[in-house]
Structure 1
Amino acid sequence: MKHLLRIDPGWFMLALALTGFLLLPGYLLLFSNLFVLGIFALSYDLLQGHAGIVSLGHAAFFGVGAFIAATLARHGVSEPLLGLIGATLVSGLVALVVTPVVVRGNDFTRLLVTLGIGFLIYEAANKARDLTGGADGLSDFTVGPVAGLFPFDFLGRTAFVYTLAVLVAIYAMMRRLAASPFGLALKGIRENVRRMSAIGAPVRRHLALAYTISGAIAGCAGALLVQTGSYASIDMLGFDRSADVMIMTTLGGTGSIPGVVLGAAGFGFLKDYLSSVSPKYWQLGLGLLLMASVFIGRGGLAGAFESLQRKLGGE
């Protein structure tokens, strides 16, 4: 048992996902949505968990990626991979443009600035009805087969494999980034920004790069949701989605890459299940469960897993 717990939890999650593909064919679309949430949560955790930046407007980049993918599909770029790359690049570019404002100031200033950026982009999307459809969103586009070979089907098999493959790629990238000198520098900035500045570390440049990468990954997640669901809505830019990603990250364990993915999947599943049980009062049930998770399991799912490791290690 001790040796099993030392294995990267990512392998267990991948095995669990593939088991779900085989045993639960009626839930493949739900699984693909959970994979998208996992990617979105990883993008936010790069900010809060590794760089120490708390953002209240992270959904702005998720929504930008979503509408870029939808717009490209509307104008004939129906290849999902091309749309995904385009959405990722544009979202990263938008994040890069706003970094000079975000990386300045203290944590409270960044909260207000990121919240303001989120509201501005949301309102801009709402006014640009010709591009975004306004409150009605966009649905008049067609997404072609992945790589020209695998069309999206009603059962969600292509969507499952497509989103899972992207999640695995980003998960692996995040693992390498966290262990790199850049990732270690971000952790140092999170723990003591003054000390990192004193030793000559380019703090603002590191934070700007982290914010840009985070925005690009969030845009990738938004593009995936649009491509697998064939619909883009300005709600994807809203504050509620920014709050959701904060909850997912906290639930999984801030700073833990596998924990964040599990937290996103657990949050998405609970939200779907409770809304089906009680369409009117599901938010009450979700709130109670989240409060219980904070008081009972400190450190999120990752903290619970580490406690289990310590207990087994002491036997």
Structure 2
Amino acid sequence: MAQDPGLRPEPQTMHAAVEEAYGPGDLGGTPLFGGGFINFGHWQGIDLDGEPTEEDRIRSQQALYRHVLGTLAPTAGLRVLEVGCGLGTGCAMALAEYGVAHVTGMDIHPRQLDRARRAQAALLADADRPGRLAFAQGAAEDMPFPAAAFDRVYTVEAAQHFRDLGAFARETARVLTPGGRAAVTSFFVPDAHPDRPGQLAGLLQTFADGLDVAHSIPELTGSLEKAGLTGISVTSIGASVWPGWDRWLSTMWRPGTWPRNFLRAYRDGLLDYYTVTAERPVG
């Protein structure tokens, strides 16, 4: 059964590592990311034999959003929520390329939202098509919206920061309209083996310091099902993410440094990148 729309979870506080990572500086403006995006990228069709260019990097990040938004089709004329919107660049893409009527970008970090409002100022002030874009502060586990407020909900490379997948799933089910669809893409542990969190913390600093959480795919799918969502589909896209991400990292980080261990974790079966979709049943 889906959560009673009248029930709300306990308010969520921002983890210190998340506050630090997204507070002082603009990650979307760094060479590691760039183009206003903050994701590892979907590198299918991008030549990795030579050294990737900044243009390649931005294309990879755009491609990841297109991959996710494409799983939610049809989207024309619908109300859409992005959970963990960062600088709002994906929201702008949803408006420009996918015909949504209205998109709300939600983020837990107030500094990110300040940056998003500056970055998307032209869209926010568009007098010809007013009200198509909005930003709101909120946690994935405690969304500040009424029940059935959105036709589509998606999140791109943010779920690894969520502290409670069960609460996120319940909130997603609550804010979706009957028949509405959700898409989650990020990196997860393929199985529920209890050693995985420690193994990842030994390889990757972001897991050791708590920025990233070693959520498993069974945990995510179980949470979505328990929240009442159906039609759950899991697709690994790791082959299109990890080699390209590591190739880009190789332009900045030497072999043996911890960021290069993402590819190692993937090859060792400790971590993969997935797209997971689900829907709220009608009735």
- TM-score range relative to shorter protein: under 0.3
* Bigger radius of gyration among the two: 1
Higher strand proportion (structure 1 or 2)? 2
Higher helix proportion (structure 1 or 2)? 1
* Larger relative contact order (Cα-Cα within 8 Å, sequence gap ≥ 6): 1
Q: Normalising by structure 2, what TM-score?
A: 0.28
